[in-house]
Structure 1
Amino acid sequence: MSEQGPEMEIVHLLRAVAVELGAHSARFAQRNGMHPTDVRALIALMDASRAGEAMTAGRLGAALGLNSAGTTALVDRLERAGHVRRVRDERDRRRVTVEVDERAVTLGRSHFGPLIGQVVELLRSYDERELEAIGSFLTGVREAAAGDGREP
């Protein structure tokens, strides 16, 4: 793989963005007495909620790469901190989902809101075609990163 060309410059820039976003998330975790996995869990739960999908502890653990014991400890810790709650499914009382508490959303918004606002404002400077290209690119990068790193 060549280190030359605009493609590699973008790859290096994307890596730098990922590092900065990771550091931003780590500062949030540290300031709020959380483990970085706690933050990843809250993001996964909010993404599921935004998509209208229920999130069980098992599904959350799979999304985070945790075993059953690790997932239980994570959910217990987040529940004790008031960030999530376990909710019994109304149709199947044996099924329990995990939901983010509004207090956690408010806490996250206070830290991440200014950054999100700046990104939204930046995106407003692009036209529809450019936004489509950016979205397509980021979707492709996410899919590549979700793989095992090997070439298809």
Structure 2
Amino acid sequence: MSTPPAPSGPAPEPELEIVHLLRAVAVELGLHSARFAHRNGMHATDVRALIALMDARRAGEETSAGRLGGALGLNSAGTTALVDRLERAGLVRRVRGRQDRRRVVVEVEDRAVDLGWAFFGPLIERSVELLRGYDDHQLTAIRDFLTGVREAAAGAE
């Protein structure tokens, strides 16, 4: 990852510099995710779906196909095609809900978690290593900032 050349003229305000850096990080993460998708014969939406399902699994939440589609901005037909594709690849499965056995939920397979960890694990480990260099106050500030930006992006339509 190379640093872009400094613009001529006065230096940007520190806040704007951080916003530009965040944008650059988002671009690099998007490219990293695209490389994962390409290497594994997936669409970008497939990767987003797997991330959503892994997040739900970590939170102990069940995810119906409708909820997954809503989170990804897909219609019913698109969601069905997505889940069918991931199921054929052995990355997800449809199962009966734990609380309501009439409900069908989509769960991520361990194979998908292993595949993701093999590719994203080194980046995750490096990120955790960097965060260990910050104290609790700094970690709270980082968490608050990233949460605020995520919420602002989610609300921007």
The bucket for the TM-score relative to the shorter chain is over 0.9
Q: Which residue of 1 aligns with 2:146?
A: 138
Q: Which residue of 2 aligns with 1:86?
A: 94
- Picking from 112, 115, 126, the partner of 1:104 is 112
Q: Which residue of 2 aligns with 1:15?
A: 23
Name the stretch that deviates more: 82-91 or 28-37: 82-91
Identity in percent: 76
CA distance in 2, matches of 1:74, 1:59: 13
User: Deviation per CA, 1:104-151, whole angstroms, max 9, x where unpaired?
Assistant: 1000000000000000000000001000000000000000000125xx
Give the total of aligned pairs. 147
3-state SS, counterpart of residue 79 of structure 2:
helix
| Uncovered stretches (5+) of structure 1, i.e. residues with no partner | none
The change in CA–CA distance for 1:89 and 1:24 in structure 2 (over 3 A counts) is: same
The change in CA–CA distance for 1:91 and 1:122 in structure 2 (over 3 A counts) is: closer
CA distance in 2, matches of 1:138, 1:113: 21
- Picking from 51, 57, 66, the partner of 1:43 is 51
Cα deviation for residue 91 of structure 1 reads 4.7
Name the stretch that deviates more: 43-52 or 83-92: 83-92
CA distance in 2, matches of 1:146, 1:4: 26
CA distance in 2, matches of 1:7, 1:126: 19
Amino acid in the other structure paired with 2:29? L
CA contact (8 A) 2:62 2:97 kept: no
Cα deviation for residue 103 of structure 1 reads 0.4
Amino acid in the other structure paired with 1:7? E
Say whether 1:52 aligns with 2:60. Answer: yes
